[in-house]
């Protein structure tokens, strides 16, 4: 494991005094943890980064499993309490910091709209994507992969992209008029689709939205690891 400081540094000033940061973020580059990493960079709050070497099995060490029994990233230690699952972490960060910074809705109905799309990205879209990958990637045993199941998942992903494309019609961002955690929760997955033979060109609204989101400086910092 390697520890570094996030963009906000080790402390932040509040009321003329400095308080120690209480966020510790466990991650690995180029994984689903990138969404949480991106959110933290957008917020600009102080946090500590702990990079795990997944190939070396650091996520399966007893001390890590004591914090996240799933043995996966991301994991956030917040106020002394471990939070796993990326969606849960994004919701926590959104409610704690995001509203003040304009990255998470304040009103009940707008927040419900945000929850709706974040859940859609994690459950509906995410399930189809995982189903497709399980049936195409070489890291899964050949006897467990099904070309037929992969084709069904591919069609499901196209249907989901059509829904997303329609939702973005005439809009720059998915919920509200400005960039938010909702965009963070879905946009990073789209560029990977083309690498697996999924044609995203029929969805111009999606492509323009993804380009807009990924052009943000905070995302560039995430890509640096």
The CATH number of whichever domain residue 27 belongs to comes to 3.40.30.10
Q: Are residues 96 and 112 in the same domain?
A: no
- What's the longest Cα–Cα distance across the chain? 62
- Say if residue 3's pLDDT is above 90: no
225 inside domain: no
Q: How far apart are CA 173 and CA 213, in angstroms?
A: 8
d(CA 137, CA 145): 8
Among the three residues 101, 121, 137, which one is the final residue of a domain in this structure?
101
Shared-domain flag, residues 34 and 115: no
User: Comparing C-alpha atoms, which of 74, 184, 73, 203 is closest to residue 121?
Assistant: 184
Output the pLDDT for position 1: 75
Q: Looking at the domain assignment, is residue 63 inside a domain?
A: yes
Instruction: Output the domain CATH number for residue 205.
Output: 1.20.1050.10
Rg (CA), the chain: 18
Do 186 and 213 sit in the same domain of this protein? yes
pLDDT recorded at residue 7: 60
Q: What domain range includes position 26?
A: 2-101
Does 156 map to a domain?
yes
Q: Considering 51, 69, 101, which residue would you say is the last residue of a domain?
A: 101
CA 22 distance to own-chain centroid: 21
Q: Tell me the three state secondary structure of residue 144.
A: helix
pTM over 0.85: yes
* Overall number of domains in the chain: 2
Residues 6 or more apart in contact with residue 49 via CB below 8 angstroms: 3, 4, 5, 6, 25, 27, 37
Same domain, residue pair 43 and 126? no
Residue-wise pLDDT tens digits, 140-192 = 999 999 999 999 999 999 999 999 999 999 999 999 999 999 999 999 999 98
* Per-residue model confidence (pLDDT) at position 11: 41
Name the DSSP class of 84.
Answer: E
The stretch 44-69 carries a mean pLDDT of 98
Query: Above 60 in pLDDT, residue 9?
Result: no
Q: Dump pLDDT digits (tens) for 12-37.
A: 433 333 334 799 999 999 999 999 99
- Give yes or no for a contact between 125 and 187, defined as CB atoms under 8 angstroms apart: no
Shared domain check, 128 and 90:
no
Average pLDDT of span 186-215? 96
Whole-number Å distance between alpha carbons of 140 and 143: 9
Span 70-107, pLDDT tens digits? 999 999 999 999 999 999 999 999 999 999 999 999 98
> How sure is the predictor about 133, in pLDDT bands with cuts at 50, 70 and 90?
very high
Over residues 207-220, the mean pLDDT reads: 98
């Amino acid at each position: 494991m390697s520890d570094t400081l996030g963009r906000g540094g080790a402390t932040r000033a509040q009321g003329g005094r400095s308080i120690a940061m209480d966020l510790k973020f466990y991650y690995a580059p180029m994984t689903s943890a990138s969404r949480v990493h991106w959110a933290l960079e957008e917020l600009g709050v102080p946090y500590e980064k702990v990079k795990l070497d997944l190939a070396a099995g650091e996520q399966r060490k007893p001390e890590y499993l004591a914090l996240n029994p799933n043995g996966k990233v991301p994991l956030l230690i917040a106020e002394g309490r471990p939070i796993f699952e990326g969606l849960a972490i994004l919701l926590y960060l959104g409610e704690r910091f995001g509203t003040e910074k304009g990255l998470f809705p304040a009103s009940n109905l707008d927040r419900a709209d945000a929850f709706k799309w974040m859940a859609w990205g994690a459950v509906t879209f995410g399930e189809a994507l995982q189903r497709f990958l399980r049936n195409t990637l070489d890291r899964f045993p050949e006897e467990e992969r099904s070309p037929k199941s992969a084709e069904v998942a591919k069609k499901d992903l196209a249907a989901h992209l059509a829904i997303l494309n329609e939702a973005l019609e005439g809009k720059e961002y998915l919920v509200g008029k400005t960039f938010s955690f909702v965009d963070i929760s879905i946009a990073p997955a789209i560029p990977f689709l083309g690498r697996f033979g999924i044609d995203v060109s029929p969805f111009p609204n999606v492509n323009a939205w993804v380009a807009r989101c990924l052009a943000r400086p905070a995302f560039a910092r995430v890509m640096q690891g």
